[in-house]
Structure 1
């Protein structure tokens, strides 16, 4: 039903069914893989109102990180996996979305990586959230983030402007900027999408 394609490699179809609705495929030499394409082979469609959620195992146990979905209407997707280890080291896997824990992290197949596909109702898949660092970036979302961040910064620091006596100069104490920075770092660590 599924296949994956990694640049420079042949397509792989050796998914193992580990439950009625869950499938895994080993991926070797994962250090040299940044993106992979997951697609339906066209032989078997999803049941009506169902799709497949692509998931990557968390480094700290049986939780999985949601990568995206494929459906009968959108039968292929590109998943960015190159930054998953960076995300876990920055925010901790406990803050990354932990999704479909039905798979056990252990597998009998020697492998460097493991991709899971869970067949679920579309309504459940639509509720899953991709960590922002692994979704394909777009100029529009980067511009939106920077714009909102800078607006927040300017609004915050200008509320602490002080006039310099005897001049028309205005200053903001460095401690105010440091406070804004610390608050911003805390908020983005707790919820990378808080700015949306």
Structure 2
């Protein structure tokens, strides 16, 4: 039903079914894997109103980090795991899955991808860590545009006229204050700019 593709490798279809709704596939040499393409083979569709949630094992106990989903309407997805491998301990949206597989040690592997077949309503409630979602040119352009708009709006509210000229200046301390505030807000919530 599922397959994965890693750049420079042949597609892999050797998923192992570990329960009625859970599947895993070992990934060798995971240190050289930045992205995984997960796709349905087209041979078996999901039942109506179901999809597959992609998951990556967390290093913090028997939990898995949600990567995203595939469905009959969206039969493929790209998951970025390079940041995830480096920052697994930061993941805060792991779900406890694949308990049957956790006790098996027969498959030597560097990494493991799990797919859990679940109702779409449950998959919609899952949250991806920001390190997993591939960035896109559109989101980068949106971020830069909003950041620059914020900067210009803030700085221009502090414009001062230079006496005897048509020049206008902004004290450097205002620019530094904007920068410090923006950095603080970004560290508190990397997605704050999406709501402004």
User: Do they superpose with TM above 0.5?
Assistant: yes
Distance 1:188 1:121, change over 3 A: farther
Distance 1:22 1:172, change over 3 A: farther
- Deviation of 1:74 after TM superposition, in Å, equals 2.2
Distance 1:181 1:56, change over 3 A: farther
Stretches of structure 2 that go unaligned for 5 or more consecutive residues are: none
User: Does the 8 Å contact 1:35/1:80 carry over to 2?
Assistant: yes
For these two proteins, the number of residue pairs brought into alignment is: 191
TM-score (norm 2): 0.78
Distance 1:59 1:149, change over 3 A: farther
CA RMSD in angstroms comes to 2.8
* Greater fraction helix: 2
- Structure 2 residue corresponding to 1:99, chosen from 94, 103, 111: 94
Distance 1:145 1:133, change over 3 A: farther
- Structure 2 residue corresponding to 1:115, chosen from 113, 116, 135: 113
**SS of the residue aligned with 1:25?**
strand
Q: Distance in 2 between matches of 1:85 and 1:26?
A: 15
Stretches of structure 1 that go unaligned for 5 or more consecutive residues are: none
Q: Distance in 2 between matches of 1:174 and 1:118?
A: 53
Structure 1 runs of 4+ with >6 Å offset: none
